[in-house]
Amino acid sequence: MREDPTKPQAQPADPVALARREQQKPLPRRFYKEARAERAGDGFALALDGRLAKTPAKHDLVVPTQALAEAIAGEWQAQQETIDFAAMPLTRLAYTAIDGVAGRIPAVVDDIAKYAETDLVCYRAAEPASLVEAQAAAWDPVLDFAATQLNARFFCVEGVTFVVQPEAARAAVRARIAEIGGSRVAPFALASLATMTALAGSVLIALALTEGRLSLDEAWRAVHVDEDFQIRQWGEDHEAVARRDRRFAEMAAAAEFWRLLMDT
């Protein structure tokens, strides 16, 4: 009996872990000729040879915007003799949104908001001066964004000593995430934001990216200020570079998912 490639494939929190796991599994054979986006109620569906595709949990694969549906269909159309889900990040995010987020939106909001308690940009080096300056250049604009756009003012501390952030700041960040969680595109937007937040280790960087305060490249550089400093000091580790490249590809896909989702 031919394997149905839309059957359950559990989605771990780390998108890179998912890609690695999928690469270790036998790839299902392509069973369709044409993949395209079709109107379906208030959204847009993936149709494979005219039949509505399903998620692993057997929900209809329907997304809110035509642009996102067409991009997902493009991933399916680009498959060759076999279907490689590791090369289909938009599809995987749609699965996560429909099967994993839609039924637990308040919990996902809470999970993302927790990053504000220990956000990357609040923990600074005391020395050397070059690293202190690099962190300030990359992270101060993120804190400025949080203060001006979210009305959230955070404390910074030197070293890794835990600092309790102001309740008002944490509440303001959570309110913004909850606003996203109450929108028409809630499960999809939260799936994208959760992925970017986890990859960045910073909800503030992720929000600054989604709201246009940072470009994708600026956000990724901000995430890796410390790592880039170490590379300048000691040189590159090839395995670390490859791992970082894979994670950047997932970050870029999540940012593109967000952009296509907001394309009305």
pLDDT tens readout for residues 50-92: 999 999 999 999 999 999 999 999 999 999 999 999 999 999 9
pLDDT tens readout for residues 175-193: 999 999 999 999 999 999 9
The count of residues in the chain is: 264
Q: Residue 3's pLDDT is what?
A: 38
Q: Residue 103's pLDDT is what?
A: 93
**Helix 15-23 to helix 238-261 angle, to the nearest 10 degrees?**
110
Ranges of H-type helices in 150-236:
167-181, 186-200, 203-210, 216-223, 225-234
pLDDT tier, 173 (very low <50, low <70, confident <90, very high otherwise): very high
Q: Which of these ranges, 162-166, 209-213, 239-243, has the smallest mean pLDDT?
A: 239-243
Q: CA–CA separation, 26 vs 56, rounded Å?
A: 17
Using a pLDDT cut of 70, give the percent of the chain over it.
90
| Residue 16 scores a pLDDT above 60 | no
List of residues 6+ apart from 227 with CB closer than 8 A = 240, 244
Q: Which long-range contacts (CB under 8 A, 24 or more apart) does 131-137 make?
A: 131/225, 131/226, 131/229, 134/225, 134/228, 134/229, 135/225, 135/226
Record the tokens describing residue 129, joined without a space: 């001066």
pLDDT tens readout for residues 193-218: 999 999 999 999 999 999 999 999 99
* 15-88 against 105-261: fold identical: no
Question: Which residue type is seen at 114?
Answer: K
Q: What mean pLDDT is reported for the chain?
A: 91
**Hey, which CATH number is domain 15-88, 3.20.20.70, 3.30.70.250, 1.20.1730.10, 3.30.2180.10?**
3.30.2180.10
Q: Which of these ranges, 131-145, 185-199, 229-243, has the smallest mean pLDDT?
A: 229-243
Q: Tell how far CA 162 is from the center of its chain.
A: 26
Q: CA–CA separation, 240 vs 79, rounded Å?
A: 28
Taking phi over 0 as left and psi of -120 to 50 as alpha, with beta for the rest, 235 belongs to left
pLDDT tier, 24 (very low <50, low <70, confident <90, very high otherwise): low
Mean of pLDDT values over 140-145:
98
The CATH homologous superfamily for domain 105-261 is: ATP12 ATPase (1.10.3580.10)
Q: Residue 21's pLDDT is what?
A: 58
Ranges of H-type helices in the chain:
15-23, 66-77, 89-95, 105-113, 129-149, 167-181, 186-200, 203-210, 216-223, 225-234, 238-261
Domain spans in the chain, listed from the N-terminal domain onward: 15-88, 105-261
Q: Residue 237's pLDDT is what?
A: 86
Element (H, E) at 47: strand 43-48
